[in-house]
Amino acid sequence: MATHTSFERGLMILSAIAEAGDTTVESVALELGIPVSTTYRYFHQLKAHGFVQEDSGIYRPGHALLALSGRHLTQSHLAEVGTAVLKGIVDAVGETAVLVIRVGTQAMCLRRAEPDKAIKYTFAVNELLPLTAGAGPRTLLAWAPADVVRQVLGGSLPRYTDNSPSAEQIQLSLAQIRANGWVVSRGELDPGAVSVAVPVMLDGEAVCALNVAGPESRCGSRSWLNSTLNSMNEAAENLAASLGSLASRRTTREVSDDARNSA
C-alpha cells in the first residue's frame, strides 16, 4: 500500500471535500483509507483556515477552498447579475423567477424576482431546498457528480406532496433531463404549482439553474411552456456568455501574473 506525505494527504482530503460538496470526516476517511482520528486533525486545521465549514458534523467547502476552485468568484458574479437577469425573465413571462445553485447535496435560492400578482410561488433568498423536488433543484441534480447523486438518492426521500417523485423515478429521469435541457415540475413541492427550469452551462457544468414558477391556472398550457422556455433559454445563454467572459478575464490575469513572476 502506497504511503503519502502529510502534504499529499491534505491535498487528497481537500480534493475529496471539493468533489463531494457535503461530507463527513468518516466518509472521507473511508474513501481515502486514512484513520478517522488522523482525518479529524486535518479537518480541524482546514476549518481553522477557512477551507471547510462545518454544520452539525456535516462539512462543506469553505470560502478559501471556493476561492481556490473559482466557484466563489462565479457565485459572486451570479449574485451580482442574477437579479437583473431574473427581472428580464419576469418581464417576459409574468411569473416568479429564481436563480438556484447547488450547495453540496442541497439546492439554494441565490436570487429571485417576483411579478406584481396576488397569487405567486417563490422561495426566500438563501433558502435551502431539496435536490429531489422542484424543477430547478432536479435540473442541478441531473448535472451533479455521480457521488452526489448516490448520496441524495441513497436514503429515504421526503415527500412534500403526492406528486413528489420517488428515488427510482428521479434516477430514471436524469438522463432524459440532460438530453432535453429543461425540467417541468407539477406540484412536487407545492400543490397546484407549475415550475420550469433550465441549466446555465459553463465548461460542461451546470453552474446554476434558472427556475420560473406559477399557479397551474396560468402556467399549465403547452403554449405558456414553449414561450417561457424560449425566454429562459435566451437568458441562460446570455448568463453563460457573461460567466465565460469572466473566466477568460481571470485566466488572462493569471497568465499575466505568471509572466511577471517569472520575469
List the chain domain ranges: 6-68, 70-249
Q: Give the tens place of pLDDT for each residue, 142-163.
A: 999 998 899 899 888 989 999 9
Q: What letter does residue 23 receive in the DSSP assignment? A: B
Which amino acid makes up residue 260?
R
Per-residue model confidence (pLDDT) at position 142: 97
Residue holding cell 448520496?
Answer: 151
Cell of 85: 437577469
Q: Cα(183)–Cα(159) distance, rounded to whole angstroms?
A: 19
Q: What is the pLDDT of residue 59?
A: 85
Whole-angstrom distance, CA of residue 111 vs CA of residue 84: 10
pLDDT for the residue 68: 53
- At 102, give phi and psi (nearest 5°): -95, 130
**Amino acid (1-letter code) at residue 78:** L
Give the H or E element holding residue 171.
helix 167-180
> Does residue 195 contact residue 209 with C-beta atoms inside 8 Å?
no
> Would you give per-residue pLDDT tens digits along the chain (263 residues)?
456 678 888 888 888 887 766 788 998 999 899 999 999 999 988 888 888 888 788 887 776 665 555 455 566 778 778 889 999 999 999 999 999 999 888 898 888 999 988 777 777 887 888 999 999 999 999 999 998 899 899 888 989 999 999 999 999 999 999 999 999 999 999 899 999 999 999 888 899 999 999 999 999 899 999 999 999 999 999 999 988 876 554 544 443 444 454 55
Amino acid symbol at 71:
R
Cβ-proximal residues to 7 (8 Å cutoff; 6+ apart), any chain: none
- Three-state secondary-structure class, residue 232: helix
Query: The C-alpha cell of 11 is what?
Result: 491535498
Half-sphere exposure of 162 (CA within 13 A, CB side): 2
Side-chain half-sphere of 263: how many Cα atoms within 13 Å? 6
Architecture of domain 6-68: Orthogonal Bundle (1.10)
Q: Cβ distance 112 to 125 under 8 Å?
A: yes
Query: Three cell numbers at 117?
Result: 400578482
Cell matching residue 15: 480534493
Q: What is the pLDDT of residue 220?
A: 87
Whether pTM exceeds 0.85: no
Q: Report the DSSP beta bridge partners of residue 107.
A: 102, 129
The domain 70-249 having CATH identifier 3.30.450.40: the answer here is yes
Give yes or no for a contact between 2 and 9, defined as CB atoms under 8 angstroms apart. Answer: no
